[in-house]
Amino acid sequence: MDFTQNSVINFINEVNKQRSLDDTVKAINDDPAIKLRRLNETKKQGVNACMNSIFAKICADAIPEINGRTADTPDLDKVVSDYVSRRTGGKDLEFYVKEAIRRNPKNTDVIKNMYESVERIVNKEYEDKTLNPETITENDLAFRLTPEIDDKLSTVIKDNNLDDLAEVIKDNVRNTAITEVELAKKEKEERMALEEELTNDDSITTEAALEEALRERGIGRDVSVYTPSLFEAVMINKFNEAAKNVQPVYETEYTLENAYVAEGVIDKVKSAFKAKAEADAKATIASSHPKFTATIEGLYKTVYAEYRSKITPINMGKIASLYKDSVSSDVQIVSSVDLEEVKRSSAEFKDQMKSLMESKTVKRFVIPKGKKQYVSGSEAIKTASNAVKALDSFFAKPDVKSFVNKASSYVTVKANKCDNPKDVLKVYELAVEYYVAELAYYSAAIDHVVSVVECAKKIIKKYGNVSVKESAFDAAVTEYTLLNISKALYLENFGLMDIDNIALEYAKVEDTEMIKKDIIKDMLPQTA
């Protein structure tokens, strides 16, 4: 028997082994007892999913509008499941409910009735399959929250007066949040007034004098424990979570594809001149010069139009200020163009023009397209600001005629020294390349500024203080609403000491740590 035959036999044996294994697994899964066991697991998942849905519905109804704004609560089902997981150390809602009933059977009638109603709904859904386990299919082992089941869950909420409970919780959350917001505004005003008072106090000339003035006003620096309110603590927790989500680099989607106005100009000019290769030098100059000046004029106008439309509306000072005030002031910014590299390449190419003109060797100016990643976002914005100044200076007096005349004089001197049409054509091609190199820097400067500004805007929008505060505030309102639901349904014990401990847990405050009230209050969004 040769090697090939052995391979075939081994392959057949392996196939037969796999078939035998598959048959064994199928036989086990087809066992009615196994099917019933798997179905019970599915029903357990169904109960959890339904309970989670009810909590999400109650929460959605209980989240209030605060100062004309409703908290942004995407995917409440996940928010609820994450909340329960945090409160139970990774357990599910069924565990949360059963533990509450076990600890406090006298006050948990509502949650018990709700749980038993959900169990009946789920069991009814699988009643036929439970009685006839041999009919169970794989499709039956994945719970689906159908519109019919959802309607039944809404009925459970109504039957247990949970919709009325949601209204009570809504009022409580709204009043608490508004109180905190108003207190934040008041304390900010008081703090600003104090700062102005101390600034204008001529007697305060040393740090010791300042500390004494603060002590006289009851603002000492002695270490003491400050226990935040529950809402404050939740706010601190959500603010810290939001701030942690800031990533190291956020690159703008802006690219340089087809952005350089000089791209393709050389090829177009070359093709326009090819037919004139047999004409005499003077005729070539006469016929080519208008095309050259038109090309240069077109280049200038296009770059200037880009500058007017993209750069002049930008307030770099405001961008820099907003970026500085954002929580992401140290994140990296990626520019779509390495401006310094373009500047260096442009200068080098223009320096080569003398020798190129003498040799009539045509060399195309290649615009570098490497991206530039700034370790410091502030440095990126500073570079962009300098680029804007260079553009403002270049286009301070946008005189197209003067620019074209300069180019015309340059090329005329060079072309008149040529003895044949081919050299004339080369001179014009070289001259176009020269002005492509000159204008390429300014074109690249536009793209650099735009990319840096767009990147900075995205960072500011997504991770600036205002955005983070609003996101944290929304999350805090939702979390506080869920805590109120847990309290109302006696899912946890919320005595005064318990609330203090929960608050400290959220804020992660140790006994030796001092938390300043003004800092905590300032975390609240003033736009709320």
Q: What is the pLDDT of residue 342?
A: 87
Residues 6+ apart with CB under 8 A from 11: none
Taking only Cα atoms into account, the Rg of the chain, rounded to an integer number of angstroms, comes to: 37
Residues 6+ apart with CB under 8 A from 17: none
3-state SS, residue 264: coil
Query: What is the torsional sign of CA 397, 446, 370, 330?
Result: positive
Q: Which of 387, 371, 373, 382 is nearest to 332 (CA)?
A: 373
Residues 6+ apart with CB under 8 A from 34: 28
Between the two ends of the chain, the Cα-to-Cα distance in Å is 84
- Cα–Cα separations (whole angstroms), residue 256 to 251, 365, 367, 388, 433: 13, 17, 11, 18, 20
CA dihedral of 420, 426, 430, 433, whole degrees rounded to 10:
150
Give the Cα separation of 96 and 409 in Å (integer). Answer: 86
Report pLDDT digits (tens) over 391-431.
988 888 778 888 888 888 888 888 777 777 778 888 888 88
Query: What is the torsional sign of CA 237, 243, 247, 248?
Result: negative
Give the Cα separation of 480 and 473 in Å (integer). Answer: 10
Is the separation of the CB atoms in 426 and 287 below 8 Å? no
Report pLDDT digits (tens) over 144-196.
888 999 999 999 999 999 999 999 999 998 888 888 778 767 766 776 677 67
Is the separation of the CB atoms in 326 and 360 below 8 Å? no
Give the Cα separation of 159 and 101 in Å (integer). Answer: 19
Q: What is the pLDDT of residue 250?
A: 33
Sort 6 into a burial class: Cβ within 10 Å, 0-12 / 13-18 / 19+.
exposed
Give the Cα separation of 242 and 351 in Å (integer). Answer: 52
Give the Cα separation of 481 and 70 in Å (integer). Answer: 13
pLDDT 10s digit of each residue in the chain, 528 long?
Answer: 454 556 656 656 666 666 665 555 555 566 777 778 888 888 899 999 999 999 999 999 998 887 777 777 778 899 999 999 988 889 999 999 999 999 898 889 999 999 999 999 999 988 887 888 778 787 877 888 889 999 999 999 999 999 999 999 999 988 888 887 787 677 667 766 776 776 677 776 666 676 677 677 665 544 345 567 788 788 778 777 765 554 433 333 322 222 233 333 333 333 433 433 334 566 777 777 888 888 888 888 888 888 888 888 888 888 887 787 665 666 678 888 888 888 888 888 888 876 776 676 667 777 777 788 887 888 888 889 999 998 988 888 778 888 888 888 888 888 777 777 778 888 888 888 888 888 888 888 888 898 888 888 777 766 665 556 677 788 888 889 999 999 999 998 876 567 777 877 777 744 333 333 433 344 344 433
Report pLDDT digits (tens) over 342-387.
888 888 888 887 677 667 666 777 777 778 888 788 888 888 999 9
Q: What is the pLDDT of residue 367?
A: 75
pTM comes to 0.54
